[in-house]
Structure 1
Amino acid sequence: MNAMKLAVPALLATATLLTACQTPAPAPEPAPPPPVVQNQKLSTDGLFAFGKSEIAADGVEGRTQLDAFAADLLAGPPFEIVHVIGHSDRIGSADANVALSTRRANSVRDYLVEKGVPADRITAVGRGSVEPVVECEDQDRDALIACLAPNRRVEIRVVPAGG
């Protein structure tokens, strides 16, 4: 019986030491943060004449922005895809606005390809007037065109590699 009384504390001490010496399992790797999507908004008034989809020859400011964007994109970290999204104001029919915003997105995509961005890494889509950034009350045409200018834009979203 005395041997039993001595054996129990010895077994408990051994079990405690063995438990304390065990290396804990490594913590699971944390999930990588979601990719940061780089966004660029360009006013179409700086690139296109009102109601047009060809990049204007006199659109120096817009071309300068696109040139800088393409250079930064090509010099920066790898990217998965570049989404070019055209938007229009509400002037005109919905179908015409979708077509115009699509042609403008395609023009920007083509310009970026000319600057060396791989064509297979660029998508282009037009959304028409469904995502306005400003609302304007009805007013004379010139004032309405000026008020709605922020809605006439092209957004470029870059998804980094691995995203």
Structure 2
Amino acid sequence: MRRMKMAVPVVLAAATLLAGCRTSEPAAEQAPPPPVVQDQKLSADGLFPFGKGDMADISADGRAELDSFAAILLAGAPFDIVHIIGHSDRIGSAKANLALSTRRARSVRDYLVQQGVPAERISAVGRGSVEPVVECADMARDALIECLAPNRRVEIRVVPAR
């Protein structure tokens, strides 16, 4: 009986030690949060030749930039809508500039849709030359085209999901 009384504390101590040595389940690795998609301002001159705006006109560099953006958009944080806004410079008539900026915005939208971005989540509008980011004095045509380049752009604004 005396041996049994001594054995009980030893068994309890051994059980406690063994329980402390038990391996626990490995912590589940948490996936990193999806990247936040940033709004983009793309140079229209980098996407399209001067005065052009159809999807077939998108340059190789422009396609690479849009491919990268589409991949980030699709892998990133959920979004409600993507607004694509085309802009032009002031060279030409207001009607022609509005049409060109609209074609550029729609071409970018169509390209992103081809990359898998849901069409129902993309809006595309042209604003023509009414929202310039630079003002340039009158100068020779080539110099004016170069000076007004920042105005020729496509802005992509992403509205995150709520």
**TM-score interval, normalised by the smaller of the two chains:** 0.7 to 0.9
- Residue equivalent to 1:8: none
Task: Give the counterpart letter for 1:124 in structure 2.
Answer: A
Task: Give the counterpart letter for 2:144 in structure 1.
Answer: L
Q: How does 1:103-142 map to 2 (within 5 A)?
A: 103-142=103-142
How many angstroms does 1:95 deviate by? Answer: 1.0
Contact 1:81 1:160 in 2 (8 A): yes
Task: Give the counterpart letter for 2:68 in structure 1.
Answer: A
Runs of 4+ in 1 over 6 A off after TM superposition: none
- Residue equivalent to 1:15: none
Contact 1:44 1:153 in 2 (8 A): yes
State the TM-score, normalizing by the size of structure 1: 0.74
- Residue equivalent to 2:39: 39
Secondary structure of the corresponding residue to residue 116 of structure 2 = coil
- Residue equivalent to 1:50: 50
In angstroms, what is the RMSD of aligned CA positions? Answer: 1.5
Cα deviation digits, residues 56-86 of structure 1 (max 9, x gap): 5671221111010000000001100000000
State the TM-score, normalizing by the size of structure 2: 0.75
Point out where structure 2 has 5 or more consecutive residues left out of the alignment: 1-35
Q: Percent identity over the alignment? A: 76
Task: Give the counterpart letter for 1:160 in structure 2.
Answer: P
Task: Give the counterpart letter for 2:138 in structure 1.
Answer: D
Point out where structure 1 has 5 or more consecutive residues left out of the alignment: 1-35
Secondary structure of the corresponding residue to residue 82 of structure 2 = strand
Aligned counterparts of 1:38 and 1:81: Cα–Cα separation in 2: 13
Paired residue total: 127
